[in-house]
Amino acid sequence: MEVTMVISQTVNAVFVPSLRTKRQSPKASLRKQQKVTSSEFCVLLQSCIEHRSLKKGRELHTLIREAGLERNRDLFPKLLKLYCTCGRVDYARELFDRIPERNLDTITWTAMISGYVGSGASNHALTLFVEMFGLGLEPDSYSFSALLKASADLSLHRLSTCLHSLIVKFGYGSGLSVGNALIHAYSSFGDVCSAQKLFSRMPDRDIVSWSSMIQACTLAKFFAESRTLFSKMQFEEHVKPNEITLVSLLPSCSFFSSLGKGQSVHAYAIRHGFDSNLIVCSALIAMYSRCGDPEAAFKVFNRLKKINIIVWTSMMEGFSINGRFQLVLELFKLMQDQGLKPNSITLIVILSACSHGGLIDEGMRIFEGMQEKFGIVPSTEHHACVVDMLGRGGRLKDAQFFIEKMKIPPTGCVLGSLLGACQVHRNVSLGERLANQLFRLEPYNESNYVILSNIYASVGRWDDVGRVRRLMALKGLTKPIGCSWIELKDKVHVFGAHDRSHPESQRIYGKLEDLSQMIVKAGYVPSTKYIFLDVEEDDKKRLLCSHSERLAIAFGLLKAPPNVPIRIAKNLRVCGDCHDAIKLISKVVARRFIVRDTSRFHHFSQGSCSCGDYW
């Protein structure tokens, strides 16, 4: 409110005197008006743009038109930008179309193009660019920056490379902003190599270049490289990280599932006053949660005074992946009590929490009330959550019925959820039908093949297992190799299944043997149904004992300082038998284990797990 008042005062202060001068000597005032007022208008417009004030902006526009300055070279592009940033690209386009093409210059075309990109209508931006190029107008560095963003938004890798060569041709190859836009575009395609090549050749680099390069590494899962860049920028090139740098870096810190790295970034945020920035905080909350420390995440959450929907969603997601499902629902209620409405992503998080927590009735109630209560039309993702919820709870028939009654066509993710449930509940015939449907729908999604092959294996149909595996090979798909890792003293130790490559392998297997004896005494019976290989029972039992997660656990027990929880991460789902075994190990050695799966955490303590064996 204050802002609009300031603007209107300024408008009056600037405009009223010029109105008065209008009635005096016309010639003198005209000159005066154009010289002084157009730049003053420019400042005012800028202020409307910054505060996204459409109302004041329209008033200003009227004043500008009356002053005969609408088509001023500086003001016209600014007017376009005003409408675009206020969410009215249509007004901007109308204004743009009122001027004959031949009278438009590159700057104006580019303003309109950027406006489309900024409003998420990148396709229109490209169409306009083609028109502009066809008229023989040369794009400038601003045009290229906007176009690169458009090509990134539309996932057009080829277009980005074409633009890159055009950029070089037009002589903008060493420009800072264009370079930054190129890094961003390449990183959005996961093409870190091109981004890195460009970055290393840039004559000038600023905070945006560094942050974008860090972001590129993080997105491509080059986590160690992100961190290296972070220290390099500070200690070798003396560039000061800002909040955006931290947000680009933070996801890298949770990968190894050890807290140290993320904590140091948090400390940096506190030292530099970034710890009340909501975006930094939601990244911190996600980082702590993904390191298996929801309490630390909650501390960050709790000291915020004003919380937006994304921060709430991050916190609820954090509790959810750490198995605190009741807490998720309590927070969800609290959030609504405070007058905040969930968005579509919040509801996915909530439904997924209900699914993983086995809170089926509650979940169904929330799903059914989505539209009426929150005004959100359920998308395929929400439907997939419900299918997962019913399927996980063993209600396969209900899940099938639910899919049949869907008002929108079921996508791969909806059917995939049900296929996953078929694996858990060993339903071969339904699994087969779904898998065949899915192979047509998404032929290159390897997880569907893996699940079907696991379903066959679980009932001993080894010929069919082989058939699915050959089908995968034919399509060039592979099953990811399982491994687990543990970080100790800044070093990551990775283990594969039955791995003997670690220098301390002998001690690890010795420890495993001890542990096996202890848990057998405590009542452990190996469950060979989790071995999806065609081998003898005894071999299966032996294979179970040296799964990668157990090797990492044994190593952790040998090496980690006493009394701290042992944190393990795995790139696949924890095997069900290992899950049983780790529960018992946590009891017999009186130790907490925090194991991260592909999708969630298992907090093992005193013989039980936070997931309640339902996952």
Partner DNA sequence: CTAGGGTTAG
Helical axes 122-134 vs 106-118, angle rounded to 10°: 160
**Using CB under 7 A, which residues numbered 72 to 101 contact DNA?**
77-78, 81
Contact pick of 40, 59, 191, 206 for DNA (by CB under 7 A)? 206
List the structure tokens of 557. 């027990």
Closest CB to DNA among 104 and 560?
Answer: 104
- Angstrom CA distances, 434 to 37, 43, 251, 451, 570, stand at 69, 61, 35, 11, 28
Closest among 266, 196, 260, 262 to 232, alpha carbons compared: 196
User: For strand 608-609 and strand 601-605, is the pairing parallel, antiparallel, or unpaired?
Assistant: antiparallel
Tell whether residue 458 is a contact of DNA (CB under 7 A): no
Residue 257, both tokens: 């599932």
- Smallest gap from residue 468 Cβ to DNA (A): 17
For residues 207 and 428, which CB has a smaller minimum distance to DNA in the complex? 207
Which residue, among 44, 40, 36, has the nearest Cα to 60 in the 3D structure?
A: 44
Which C-beta is closer to DNA: that of 122 or that of 258?
Answer: 122
Of 218-247, which residues contact DNA (CB under 7 A)? 242-245, 247
* DSSP secondary structure string for all residues of 13-49: HHHHHHHHHHHS-HHHHHHHIIIIIHHHHHHHHHHHH
One residue of 37, 122, 212, 548 binding DNA per CB under 7 A: 212
- Closest approach of Cβ 447 to DNA, in Å? 7
Per 3-state DSSP, what percentage of the chain is helix, strand, and coil (rounded to 5)?
65, 5, 30
Per CB under 7 A, does 283 bind DNA?
yes
Euclidean distance between CA atoms 509 and 502, whole angstroms: 11
Distance CA 216, CA 251 (A): 12
Write the interaction track for DNA spanning residues 96-115; mark x where CB under 7 A is met and - where it is not.
-----------x--xx--x-
178 binds DNA, rule: CB under 7 A: yes
User: What minimum distance in Å lies between the beta carbon of 590 and DNA?
Assistant: 31
Among 356, 567, 570, 602, binds DNA (CB under 7 A): 356
Angle, CA 166 vertex, CA 161 and CA 171 arms, to 5°? 125
Q: Which of residues 500-559 bind DNA (CB under 7 A)?
A: none
Q: Which of residues 361-400 bind DNA (CB under 7 A)?
A: 381, 384-385, 388
- Taking residues 396 to 435 in sequence order and writing x for each that binds DNA by CB under 7 A, - otherwise, the string is ----------------xx--xx--x---------------
Nearer to DNA, 445 or 505 (CB): 445
| Residue of 24, 25, 599, 606 interacting with DNA (CB under 7 A) | 599
- Interface with DNA includes 207 (CB under 7 A)? yes
Please report, as residue ranges, which positions from 118 to 177 form the binding site for DNA (by CB under 7 A). 118, 140-143, 145-146, 149, 176-177
Nearer to DNA, 160 or 209 (CB): 209
User: What is the C-alpha separation between 419 and 177, in angstroms, rounded?
Assistant: 47
Output 174 or 308, the one with its CB closest to DNA: 308
Query: What per-residue string of b and e applies to 225-236 under the rule 16 or more CB within 10 Å gives b?
Result: bbbebbeebeee
